[in-house]
Amino acid sequence: MAIVDAQSVKNTETAHLKGYDGGKKVSGIKRHIAVDTNGLPHAIHVTAASVTDRAGAIEMAEKNKQNLRSVKKTLVDGGYTGEPFRGAMKDILDAEVEVAKRSELHTFAVIPKRWVVERSLSWLEKCRRLWKNCERLVTSSVGMVQLAFIRILLKRI
């Protein structure tokens, strides 16, 4: 199982890739990650913040088919609903999409299994270099996220 989510991050003025996420009111980039049930990353992709969560996740799946080849089910939040996304994930990964929705009550509740990807994103927030996107190139941004996860994993050994 892969759990997919995205995080919008502000840019500094030196970054080349820029976009505006109207939902989060953030001008910058969007980090898309797919983690396993332990929170370990299997795919990382960076886009402009203006790219939708669904489009970014599809790009991430296409670029990381090899790492995601054993995935049979993808758990996502309500931002990934829709038949086009479900069909694209079926075509690319041959994986079923399960949407974990919040209850209809307007109270806080932890969504089962979704907290794993949220925890992984919060691990990244502990890295000072990743609070803002200071990198000029997208490949550098991806590399910094990978280095952060390597550091986090080495501390846990």
Q: What are phi and psi of 115, to 5 degrees?
A: -65, -20
DSSP 131: S
DSSP 145: H
Range of the domain at 114: 2-155
Write down the pLDDT at residue 13: 85
Contact 34, 3 (CB under 8 A): yes
- The whole-angstrom separation of Cα 37 and Cα 41 is 10
Write down the pLDDT at residue 113: 80
Task: List the CATH number of the domain containing 64.
Answer: 3.30.420.10
Write down the pLDDT at residue 104: 56
- The whole-angstrom separation of Cα 122 and Cα 37 is 15
Distances (CA, A) of 106 to 41, 79, 102: 31, 17, 9
Q: What are phi and psi of 5, to 5 degrees?
A: -155, 170
The dihedral over CA atoms of 104, 106, 111, 116, expressed in degrees to the nearest 10, equals: 140
E strand map for 67-111: 73-76, 96-99
Gyration radius of the chain's alpha carbons? 15
- The whole-angstrom separation of Cα 61 and Cα 34 is 9
Write down the pLDDT at residue 156: 80
* Overall domain count for the chain: 1
Distances (CA, A) of 155 to 38, 131, 148, 150, 152: 15, 20, 11, 9, 5
Contact 30, 64 (CB under 8 A): no
Mean pLDDT per 10-residue interval, the chain, length 157 residues: 94 87 92 93 95 96 94 92 95 93 63 84 89 90 94 86
